[in-house]
Amino acid sequence: MIRSLYTATTGMRVQQHKIDSIGNNIANVSTTGYKSSRPDFKETLYDVMEIRPAYAQTNLLIGNGVRVGSVQRIFTQGSLKQTGNSLDLALEGLGFFAIGAEDDQTLYTRDGTFKLSYMPDGQARLDNMEGYPILDQYGQPIYFDGDTREENIVINQDGTIYLTDEYGSYYQGTLGVYSFTDPNSLQSIRASYFMATEGSGEPTPALDTKVIQGYLEQSNVDLSREMTDLIMAQRAYQLNSRMIQTADEMEKQANNLRG
């Protein structure tokens, strides 16, 4: 009885984890550049029976439930939505924008909702909506003259930035767009931020990724699938709960018979 209680408990635990993951996906269905996540389940260690049935070549194995093995990020391309804003940028491919965060940390994101922030020294800096600087190919913030207007900024698909006026166009720098050997090993920091880890590998220039100006990448959450998975996870949770109740009732009956 104790084994069945433990097995059902592990089942409830992993289904609750799945429900939480689905809930997080649904909550971020409108988050720019968000990548959905999905937990992978693995079986716990088996117990080997000492008695081998006549028909079996090996001793029978008894399972002890399930556990969460890992949480996978689904890095499929989200749809692109045209905004007409020259500082809204989308990525086509597996690259990430680089963001300068606190404590000299570099974060990576697919959210290309950018703006110009006007600095006390009279310069304008390319930032995201939280005020973090967008980094160039050398890991440095990108600056413009203080009188720069957003509509005069042109960003090509290779990430090169030009400032245009009536006299021509002038090179201002190149966006840092990076890829990783194993993006699934990136550490998730809030909804759309990631941090490099030893498992993800070092960031390298994402040469096959295109920067699309005037567009934003939408979340890749498939709402219909998430709702279907949610119903299935809730049912599995209920079945495991019922299993615990049944095992408890059987234990009580066994105790009554002994008494």
DSSP string, the chain: -HHHHHHHHHHHHHHHHHHHHHHHHHHTTTSTT---EEEEEEE-PPEEPSS--TT-SS--EE---EEEEEEEE--PPPPEEE---TTBEEEESS-EEEEE-GGG-EEEES--BEEEEE-TTS-EEEEETTSPBBBBTTS-B-EE-TT--GGGEEE-TTSEEEEEETTEEEEEEEB-EEE-S-GGGSEEETTTEEE--TTT---EE-TTPEEEETEEEPP---HHHHHHHHHHHHHHHHHHHHHHHHHHHHHHHHHHHH-
Mean pLDDT calculated for residue range 26-41: 91
Question: Does residue 26 form part of some domain?
Answer: yes
User: Is 123 part of a structural domain of the chain?
Assistant: yes
Mean pLDDT along residues 220-238: 93
Q: Does residue 56 carry a pLDDT above 60?
A: no
Q: Which residue has the higher pLDDT, 8 or 175?
A: 175
Question: Quick one: 170 and 196 in the same domain?
Answer: yes
Domain range enclosing 18: 2-76+235-258
| Domain identity same for 38 and 98 | no
Distance CA 127, CA 141 (A): 8
Q: Which residue has the tokens 């920091």?
A: 189
Domain count, the chain: 2
Query: Are residues 23 and 89 located together in one domain of the fold?
Result: no
Average of per-residue pLDDT across 208-232: 96
Q: Average pLDDT of the chain? A: 87
Q: Give the pair of three-digit tokens for residue 157.
A: 């698909």
pLDDT tops 60 at residue 53? no
Question: Are residues 88 and 215 in contact, defined by beta-carbon separation less than 8 angstroms?
Answer: yes
pLDDT at 106: 96
- Do 192 and 99 share a structural domain? yes
Question: Nearest to residue 106, comparing CAs of 27, 177, 24, 194?
Answer: 194
94-143 confidence digits (pLDDT tens): 999 999 998 889 999 999 999 999 999 999 999 999 999 999 999 999 99
112 with 144, same domain: the answer is: yes
The proportion of the chain whose per-residue pLDDT surpasses 90, expressed as a percent, equals 64
93 with 161, same domain: the answer is yes
226 inside domain:
no
Q: Is residue 69 part of a domain?
A: yes
Structure token digits, residue 212:
């699309």
pLDDT at 197 over 50: yes
Asked if the structure places residue 228 within a domain, the reply is: no
Q: Do 85 and 33 fall within a single domain?
A: no
**Residue 248 included in any domain:** yes
Is pLDDT at 67 greater than 90 in this prediction?
A: no
145 is written with which tokens? 């003259």
Residues with Cβ within 8 Å of 150's Cβ and at least 6 positions away in sequence, in order, are 85, 86, 87, 115, 116
43 and 113, same domain (yes or no): no
Q: Tell whether the model's pLDDT for residue 89 goes beyond 90.
A: yes
Tell me if 229 is assigned to some domain. no
Same domain? 212 vs 248 = no
d(CA 128, CA 134): 7
pLDDT band per the 50, 70, 90 thresholds, residue 63: low
- Say if CB 182 and CB 176 are below 8 A apart: no
164 with 47, same domain: the answer is: no
Residue 227 inside a domain? The answer is no
Q: Look at residue 48 in the predicted model and tell me its pLDDT.
A: 47
The answer to whether residues 105 and 24 belong to one domain is: no
In angstroms, the Cα distances linking 45 to 49, 64, 96, 240 are 13, 6, 38, 19
Are 246 and 202 found together in one domain? no
The answer on pLDDT for 27 being more than 50 is yes
pLDDT at 47: 47
